[in-house]
Structure formats: structure tokens, C-alpha cells
């Protein structure tokens, strides 16, 4: 004989004081789980959103990031004239030799200093990165020690206002424009002219070369040519693949999120267990009556498990709602690839919310298991005699 679920649902609302603590406890656990995991999702999406599928990134063999790569000027001059590279309307090759430098700058509100990634780009650099838009001010002019800064980065650092100046390598640089990288890794960068950056920071070589291939076949041919050319100890890969691989910073956050979720879920399990034990104690006679009416032990066990899962699911929904206002909020962390400030956004996706709800149900079922077993094993006569 199956037990009507309305019996359990009514008891949830009749004894609302006893269940409120469990629901709120699970809600807080799920909110923390979703928020911390949304940081990792935001970092991963920032890298995944970066790059153009038509572009090929060229770095030194063995390097894991541009910051540890070098491309000599001789190698660059060889790359410029490769036939697989696309050209613009003026017949110029779509190539940008970039210089990547870390500089230390003070945060706003006197909150210490942090490394910021400054990228020197060639004249074709902006055209190769169409997702980056100039939103205020103007583009830098080579030779005038001017830079453009990501708008999100400017909100986090002291000297990045339009018209502001900051010193690096003993030189004073002027901010003449703000850019928007569209939620990509470019939201964490300062841009200036590549050759000027080499002069200011005393760099003999470039860090990487970004090229636009003439097509898919040309991109494949270019990659093979660079891999097999003994003169070029370089490696080439699609720009999107390069940035997708730059997700090491998300891994520690995921580990931290899982650790916090496990630690807090233990408390939530005990809270759910305490509530369900109290429910069993308060409904001893009801349980005895159900047994007399012919309900089986396994039916009662299942009903209490469903009740616990239902309570936890309500908490999970509340937890997701508590976390939702943080969606799209900008924050930052240190990139483990470049050791610079990485700006990204909280990303609460439907899949992440679904994981939070599943997590809450698991907490509810685990917390209800022992009390449900006790309820199903109560002797009928003793249960009927309970006060």
C-alpha cells in the first residue's frame, strides 16, 4: 500500500518552525556552493570567450603562456611573409607582434598593489581582436607613451582614469582611452604600441605573434609549416584553443568550492537529521497508526526520505535565489599563468543552478536516512502507546 505524499507535505507546513532551520541551513550551503562555483565558471568563460577562430597564436616551443615566451625579431620577419597569412584591403599582412609585460599598480581605496598585464600590440593588433571595442576616449598614438586600459580594469586600479598617468620602468604613461573586451581575457589588459613597449621596458624580442590565416586550410598548413621548420623553434595553435587552455586559475577555486561545500554540507546534514528525528519523535503515534492501517516499513521509510528531500529542495531553491543577484558582478583574482590581475564576472548558469539543486536533494536524503530508518522500525504497539 502506497503512502499519500500529501501526508508528508502537510506535516512540513504544520511543523514549520522545526523545519525552517533546516531549510535555511541547506539554503546557505547551496548559496555558497553556487557562488564559489560561479567564480570558476566565470574564469573559464572569460578564457573561452577570448580569441577569433580565424587567428593563429605563435609562441616559443615549450612555453605555456605568452609571459614565458620569446619570438625574436628575425623570426617575426620570417613569419610576416608566409603565404598562408591573410592580408587586408591595402595588401598588408594581418599580423601582430605582441610584447607582454607585468607591471605593478596600486588598487583603488588603498587596497595594496597587484600585477597588471600590459600588452604591446602592432598596428594590425586591434583588427585581429574585433571583440575589443573602444568605449571612451581614443586609441593610443605610437611614440607618445600612451595606453588604453580595459574599463573593468580601470574600475579596480587607482591611476587608470581617462587622462590619468602612471609610472612604470621609470617612464610615465598616459591613459587616453578605455576598452571593453566583451567579457574576454582582454578585459584584464592594458594596450600600447609594441615597439614602444619594447623600448620602454628594454625588451629585445617579442612575446608572441598573432596572425590571421587566409582560411581553414591555410591555418592547418601554417601550423604544420611552423612545427616542421627548423629555423623556427616555435609552436602555432588556434587562438581560441590557446585561451581555452589558460584556465588553471579556475581549478583552485573549484577545489575550494568543493571543500567548502563538503564542510558546510556536513553541518546541513546534521541539521536535517535533527529536524527529521524531531519529526519522528513528534509523530510516533501517527507512525504506529500508519502501520496498523497496513502501510509497510519500506513505505514509511520512503515517505520520510521524500519529506527530507523535499525540505532540502526548498532550501536549494532559496539558495539559488540568494546567489542569483551576484550573476554578472565583476571581480578579480590572480592568474596562475601570468601572475597578473584577471578580471571576470560571476556566471550563474542554468547547469550550475541544477547542480545546486541536486546537491541540496542529496544533503536532504543523507540527513533523512537514519531518522527514516528509525521511523520504519518503530514497534507498532509501543508507537500506539506513545504520549
Give per-residue pLDDT as tens, 325-380: 888 776 666 665 556 666 667 788 898 899 889 888 888 888 777 777 776 776 76
Question: For residue 148, what pLDDT is reported?
Answer: 96
CB 184 within 8 A of CB 48: no
Question: For residue 190, what pLDDT is reported?
Answer: 94
CB 85 within 8 A of CB 94: yes
List helix spans (H) across the chain.
5-14, 16-48, 73-80, 125-128, 151-154, 194-200, 216-228, 239-244, 250-282, 284-292, 297-323, 350-376, 380-385
> Do strands 189-193 and 113-121 pair parallel, antiparallel, or not at all (unpaired)?
parallel
Question: For residue 1, what pLDDT is reported?
Answer: 44
DSSP-based three-state secondary structure for 27? helix
Residues present in the chain in total: 387
Question: For residue 124, what pLDDT is reported?
Answer: 92
pLDDT tens track of the chain, all 387 residues?
455 566 667 766 766 676 787 788 788 888 888 887 887 777 677 666 778 889 999 999 888 778 888 999 999 998 888 899 999 888 889 999 999 999 989 988 777 888 899 999 999 999 999 999 999 999 999 999 999 999 989 988 988 999 999 998 889 999 999 999 888 888 889 999 999 999 999 999 999 999 999 889 999 999 999 988 888 899 999 988 888 776 655 566 667 666 766 776 677 667 666 766 666 666 666 666 767 777 777 777 787 788 778 888 888 899 999 989 888 776 666 665 556 666 667 788 898 899 889 888 888 888 777 777 776 776 766 655 655
Question: For residue 50, what pLDDT is reported?
Answer: 79
**Cα–Cα distance between 12 and 311 in angstroms, integer?**
8
Question: For residue 86, what pLDDT is reported?
Answer: 92
Question: For residue 361, what pLDDT is reported?
Answer: 86
Give per-residue pLDDT as tens, 299-337: 777 877 887 788 888 888 999 999 898 887 766 666 655
* Structural domain boundaries in the chain: 5-48+248-385, 62-232
Question: For residue 144, what pLDDT is reported?
Answer: 93
Question: For residue 206, what pLDDT is reported?
Answer: 94
Amino acid at each position: 500500500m502506497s503512502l499519500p505524499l500529501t501526508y508528508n507535505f502537510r506535516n512540513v507546513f504544520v511543523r514549520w518552525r522545526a523545519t525552517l532551520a533546516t531549510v535555511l541551513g541547506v539554503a546557505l550551503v547551496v548559496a555558497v556552493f553556487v557562488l564559489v562555483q560561479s567564480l570558476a565558471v566565470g574564469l573559464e568563460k572569460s578564457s573561452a570567450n577570448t580569441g577569433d577562430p580565424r587567428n593563429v597564436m605563435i609562441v616559443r616551443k615549450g612555453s605555456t603562456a605568452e609571459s614565458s615566451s620569446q619570438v625574436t625579431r628575425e623570426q617575426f620577419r620570417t613569419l610576416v611573409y608566409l603565404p598562408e597569412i591573410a592580408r587586408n584591403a591595402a595588401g598588408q599582412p594581418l599580423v601582430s607582434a605582441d610584447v607582454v609585460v607585468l607591471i605593478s599598480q596600486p588598487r583603488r581605496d588603498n587596497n595594496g598593489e597587484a600585477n597588471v598585464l600590459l600588452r604591446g600590440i602592432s598596428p594590425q593588433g586591434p583588427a585581429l581582436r574585433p571583440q575589443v571595442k573602444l568605449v571612451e576616449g581614443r586609441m593610443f598614438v605610437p611614440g607618445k607613451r600612451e595606453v588604453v586600459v580595459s574599463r573593468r580594469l580601470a574600475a579596480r586600479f587607482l591611476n587608470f582614469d581617462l587622462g590619468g598617468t602612471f609610472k612604470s620602468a621609470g617612464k610615465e604613461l598616459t591613459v587616453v582611452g578605455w576598452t571593453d573586451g566583451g567579457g574576454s581575457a582582454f578585459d584584464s589588459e592594458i594596450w600600447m604600441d609594441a615597439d614602444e613597449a619594447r623600448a620602454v621596458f628594454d625588451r629585445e624580442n617579442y612575446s608572441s605573434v598573432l596572425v590571421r590565416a587566409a582560411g581553414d586550410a591555410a591555418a592547418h598548413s601554417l601550423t604544420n609549416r611552423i612545427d616542421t621548420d627548423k629555423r623556427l623553434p616555435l609552436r602555432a595553435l588556434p587562438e581560441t584553443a590557446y585561451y581555452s587552455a589558460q584556465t588553471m586559475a579556475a581549478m583552485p577555486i573549484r577545489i575550494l568550492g568543493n571543500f567548502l561545500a563538503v564542510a558546510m554540507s556536513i553541518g546541513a546534514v546534521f541539521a536535517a537529521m535533527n529536524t527529521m528525528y524531531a519529526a519522528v519523535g513528534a509523530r510516533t503515534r501517527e507512525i504506529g497508526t500508519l502501520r496498523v492501517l497496513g502501510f509497510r516499513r519500506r513505505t514509511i521509510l520512503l515517505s520520510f526520505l521524500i519529506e527530507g528531500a523535499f525540505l532540502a529542495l526548498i532550501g536549494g531553491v532559496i539558495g539559488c535565489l540568494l546567489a542569483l543577484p551576484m550573476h554578472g558582478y565583476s571581480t578579480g583574482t590572480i592568474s596562475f599563468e601570468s601572475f597578473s590581475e584577471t578580471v571576470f564576472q560571476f556566471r550563474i548558469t542554468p547547469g550550475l543552478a541544477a547542480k545546486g539543486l541536486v546537491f541540496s536533494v542529496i544533503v536532504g536524503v543523507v540527513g533523512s536516512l537514519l531518522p527514516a530508518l528509525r521511523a520504519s522500525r518503530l514497534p507498532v504497539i509501543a508507537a500506539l502507546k506513545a504520549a
